[in-house]
Amino acid sequence: MAYLEARGISKAFGKKRVLEDLSLEVGRGECVVLFGPSGVGKTILLRIIAGVLEPDAGQILIDGRSVMDQGPEERGVAMAFQNFALYPHMDAFENIASPLRARRLPEQEIKQRVHDIATLLRIDHVLDHLPRQLSNGQKQRTSLGRSLVHGPAVLMLDDPLRNVDAKIRYEMRLELPRIFRKFESTVLYVTQDYKEALALGDRIGVLLDGRFEQLDTPETVYRAPRNRRVANLFGDPPINLFRIRPTRDGDGEVHAVIGGQPVALGAARNRLDGRECELGVRPEDVGLSFEPVPNGIPVELEAVTPFNVRTVTLLKTPDATEILASQPEDNSLATARGHRKGWATLDLERTMFFDAKTGARL
Ligand SMILES: Nc1ncnc2c1ncn2[C@@H]1O[C@H](COP(=O)(O)OP(=O)(O)OP(=O)(O)O)[C@@H](O)[C@H]1O
């Protein structure tokens, strides 16, 4: 059963509709990432769930009961923000302790709980520092500690890693799932960073135009996006898209012309025969060979870019179609730059097809 439920939530500001009949169910202990570009209403949804903003329609249920008549305190929902929102005149210990003091817990228990959570978050050595004496990463951990310390029923994190540097973001991405599990927290996590969404979500809700365009596991969102829009939001370098019109030839095989070259799509694609569509293939599913290969598309290497431990190449077919490929790091590619010829192959198991008009995945 859903532990947290948003039912038919709508919210507009004047004529601007932000959320439209949006529904969401989150299981106990589950982490759902709300992902979408700036301004789609992620924060508005969190504020409605927290009870600091009224929706125009719909309701929020926690543990099967409507909480619409309860204020933020009673709902047992904690929120942490991208700007940390720490009390500047209190040290880290007092910042973390503040929700416990508000609940008038005994001093001994406050000490114990703050120390436990500070140890877990690795800030136990800076508990006597004021916020201005903390690094951004430590501020973020302090803010997180304050949200978690009273064991909220639902933890909502609004883009908490936006203002920390890349190294800390990476560390936290690895650490947060362990922390969420330890606290058995039910989590709603907002981000605009697709890598963070893929790393942290048990499920990802892709928010576009006021509702969820797709709500699925990271694997499914990445490998089987519902449509072209979702496919385009995940991946760097982005997915390749080629406009095609597959046709079946004499021997029953379905072909499509990509970059001027007929490519066999495999018998399983018969259903696409004659249909205007777009073939989507992620750069990591494009192979590159310097010998002719069956079903290969002739290309020239236009550009070679080292990309972390992978190498991204921009390939150009004779009719000037561009294909991005991303391979495990390969130093020999660096010397191949400068119009070396090659052959690109598409991993047909992993290609996807989108309707040319609607963008829906076929
Ligand atoms: N009080 C308000 N009055 C009018 N419009 C508002 C108000 N609060 C938010 N909005 C609008 O609602 C939309 C959604 O805002 P929201 O802050 O939820 O976006 P977001 O998805 O969280 O974006 P970001 O990722 O940049 O934080 C925005 O277009 C914003 O301008």
Domains of the chain plus CATH, in order, are 2-233 (3.40.50.300), 240-355 (2.40.50.140)
- Out of 4-8, 221-225, 312-316, pick the least confident: 312-316
Phi, psi of 251 (to 5 degrees): -85, 15
CA-nearest residue, atom 24 of ligand 1: 38
Q: Is 328 touching ligand 1 by the criterion CB < 6 Å? A: no
Length of the chain, in residues: 362
| pLDDT for residue 334 | 58
When pLDDT is cut at 50, 70 and 90, the band that residue 333 belongs to is low
Is the separation of the CB atoms in 149 and 97 below 8 Å? yes
Q: Is 192 touching ligand 1 by the criterion CB < 6 Å? A: yes
What is the distance in A from the centroid of ligand 1 to the CA of 39? 5
| pLDDT for residue 332 | 63
Helix axes 92-102, 136-148, angle to 10 degrees: 20
| pLDDT for residue 147 | 87
**Nearest 10 degrees: Cα torsion 269, 217, 175, 306:** 20
pLDDT of 23 higher than 70:
yes
Q: Buried b / exposed e across 197-225, counting CB within 10 Å, b at 16+?
A: bbbbbbbbbbbbebbbbbbbebeebbeeb
More confident residue, 283 or 182: 283
Q: Give the model confidence (pLDDT) of 50-89 as tens digits.
A: 999 999 999 999 999 999 999 887 888 888 766 668 899 9
- Average pLDDT of the chain is 89
Which tokens is 330 given?
């390969």
| Of the candidates 200, 87, 93, 73, the residue with the CA atom closest to the CA atom of residue 145 | 93
CA-nearest residue, atom 30 of ligand 1: 39
Q: Is the pTM above the cut of 0.80?
A: yes
**Residues contacting 332, CB < 8 A, separation 6+:** none
| pLDDT for residue 166 | 78
Average pLDDT for 27-37 = 94
Q: Is 54 touching ligand 1 by the criterion CB < 6 Å? A: no
Average pLDDT for 278-292 = 93
| pLDDT for residue 170 | 78
Q: Is 13 touching ligand 1 by the criterion CB < 6 Å? A: yes
Count CB atoms within 10 A of the CB of residue 347: 12
Indicate left, alpha or beta for 268 from its phi (over 0: left) and psi (-120 to 50: alpha): alpha
**Residues contacting 73, CB < 8 A, separation 6+:** none
Helix axes 136-148, 166-182, angle to 10 degrees: 20
What is the distance in A from the centroid of ligand 1 to the CA of 73? 23
pLDDT of 206 higher than 90:
yes
pLDDT of 329 higher than 80:
no
Question: DSSP class of residue 150?
Answer: T
Is the separation of the CB atoms in 182 and 14 below 8 Å? no
When pLDDT is cut at 50, 70 and 90, the band that residue 175 belongs to is confident
| Of the candidates 269, 260, 241, the residue with the CA atom closest to the CA atom of residue 359 | 241
Among 43, 158, 194, residue to substitute to test ligand 1 (most atoms within 8 Å of Cβ): 43
| pLDDT for residue 83 | 67
More confident residue, 246 or 152: 246
Residue for token digits 């929902």?
Answer: 77
CA-nearest residue, atom 5 of ligand 1: 13
pLDDT of 163 higher than 80:
no
Among 18, 194, 233, residue to substitute to test ligand 1 (most atoms within 8 Å of Cβ): 18
How far is CA 24 from its chain centroid? 17
Q: How far apart are CA 51 and CA 70, in angstroms?
A: 7
CA-nearest residue, atom 14 of ligand 1: 41
Which tokens is 120 given?
């877990």
